[in-house]
Structure 1
């Protein structure tokens, strides 16, 4: 079975490539390498000993995308591609709407033209906005507090409308919580450009000496230690969730949303403490003012995924820290330097 991964060279996409190849799937990657690296795919091949097809194409290039479907017998699409920095989305909203929403519409049009109607969509817990309670279930009210989140929510609404208009589509929406960690080999991981937008890459960059201290945004929340609590999930567990979603989608037309999280929340200070124990390196931090739109806590109820996808996260916070540290310490500047022969 051939699976097309849009944005397959990215952080989550590259880990999904590994899992798909190891499970015997054929993999076709479409990526414009705006926020990813060709080296990641080189390392995927090294890890698996298997080849994949790479198409250097932007999703906004409809003619180029159509050639991919003409040249390959695609049976399912995992749609990772999209801009994802919350702060940047606030500064450049039109860029985010055009890239994320228009790119998805282009992809859907081409899929429909070639009768490929199985899609796994990479959504986000940001579509829950500011939930009144936790843990979060899939039937919570949906909203968004920034343009990035609104693009995810808009795409979900488009996919629901599409499914209602044509029942032959099989669409799975995966709402990620906070992916962290790296492949246990240390060969692929999160390699952000510039200042990391997410907590753990920032923490590991402080530990490796690239940054002076972790900024902790607020310590007056009603949580265990006053800092924000989030549901962190190992990126390999997340990648395996996509395999389960593909398996389910092949036998179940319609549309369904699933939370992919551990069901447990950890505070910012707890994550810093876990990484300090892992690295045995003091990790300095400073408390600064809370960011606009941040909420006290956000963690998943992943029961639906367990029951319907036969999936659940198995890796602990310490597994996540260990693998993230192996990746960062062996690749202090990300994919800029190779670490294997």
Structure 2
């Protein structure tokens, strides 16, 4: 992806406002993306006022420059509520970002905006470091200047590198044996935020370490809509099932796992979204201090072949696949321990693998070309 394209284009779109009595003003970076848009649904339904910043390089733009991105327009349809504002601005555009904070009294930021494909990060490391790390530094500096010092960060289980034990909890070492630049950028950003919260006691940061988000909103109106060939397993399977792709490539069947294929902890995107609302509540509690990390997963490992079989059952379609060589940057198995999130956030995943596949298929079958 061309980094230069992420630095321009600022769309100032302010929607009608229907403020609730108790909601907070939450600025969401990357809010037009997959996890971001589903989290905006949960935020609006919880009564918060949402400002979205997104440069839309990883999401579909509106057909007209004055329109919301389709995902956010559908979020408003799902919830019956309007965004406070949407800005098409990159985190690499510091003056544009500063203007956003000047226009709104933001209470908290949820930071999703990043490049996120493991394989692509191996091929284009500079793009990932510039977008993910420099963009985050800009955001933190602008937040500090605006006096906004509460942040929920979209991190990743990749910060654990090759897991030393399973299930992996938050006490596991981070930054050791990370296998790809994407994971390195998440680790570096976590360290920056921890150091900042140590140096300035006014900062409150929740680091949410995702495992593998899948699924879609139960309405079928929003879901994962990759630009070009999907980099992740489940959207690729869904496109094979709907006939957009001929076959799935399985990257390696010689891992030390029960069936030789990679094992991951998949979490429904709506469970993940609810975790952000729980983190928001936690960060405003009187006893919260500094920076704390929480895993968001299910604690259940699913192999590639098991996911293929589950999706066959959910869709009633065959999923042709071929085994190819391992992909750079992948690990054999990673599964979450989510005990800390349950204890301290009052959160746990409630949707199972079947529901993940059913909701993904509903989205893909009703929207075979995504938001086009």
Please report the TM-score for the alignment, with normalisation by the length of structure 2. Answer: 0.89
Q: Deviations over 1:21-71 (max 9, x none)?
A: 001000000011111121000100111111101011111111111111111
SS across alignment from 2:371: helix
Alignment-derived partner of residue 300 in structure 1: 336
Matched, 1:45 2:68: no
Within a 5 Å distance, the mapping from 1:169-248 to structure 2 comes to 169-248=203-282
Q: What is the aligned-residue RMSD (CA, Å)?
A: 0.9
State the match for 1:142 in structure 2: 174
Residues 21-100 of structure 1: matches in 2 within 5 Å?
21-37=44-60, 38-52=69-83, 53-100=85-132
Aligned partner of residue 224 in structure 1, secondary structure: coil
For residues 59 and 244 of structure 2, the distance between their equivalents in structure 1, rounded to whole angstroms, comes to 20
Q: Output the CA distance in 2 between the equivalents of 1:292 and 1:15.
A: 29
Q: Deviations over 1:190-232 (max 9, x none)?
A: 0001111100001011100111111111112222212111000
- TM-superposed CA distance for 1:87, in Å, is 2.2
Distance 2:88 2:167 in 1: 40
Alignment-derived partner of residue 133 in structure 2: 101
1:4 aligns with one of 27, 39, 58:
27
1:170-209: per-residue Cα shift (whole Å, max 9, x none)? Answer: 1000000000000000000000011111000010111001
Deviating beyond 4 angstroms after TM superposition, the runs of 4 or more aligned structure 1 residues are none
Report the TM-score, using the length of structure 1 for normalisation.
Answer: 0.97
Separation (CA, whole Å) in 2 of partners of 1:182 and 1:8: 15
Q: Distance in 2 between matches of 1:91 and 1:272?
A: 27
Picking from 3, 7, 13, the partner of 2:36 is 13
Structure 2 regions of 5+ residues with no counterpart?
Answer: 1-23, 61-68
Give the corresponding residue for 1:339.
none
Q: CA deviation at 1:253?
A: 2.4
3-state secondary structure, aligned to 1:130: coil
Moved more, 91-100 or 320-329: 91-100
SS of 2:197 mapped into structure 1: helix
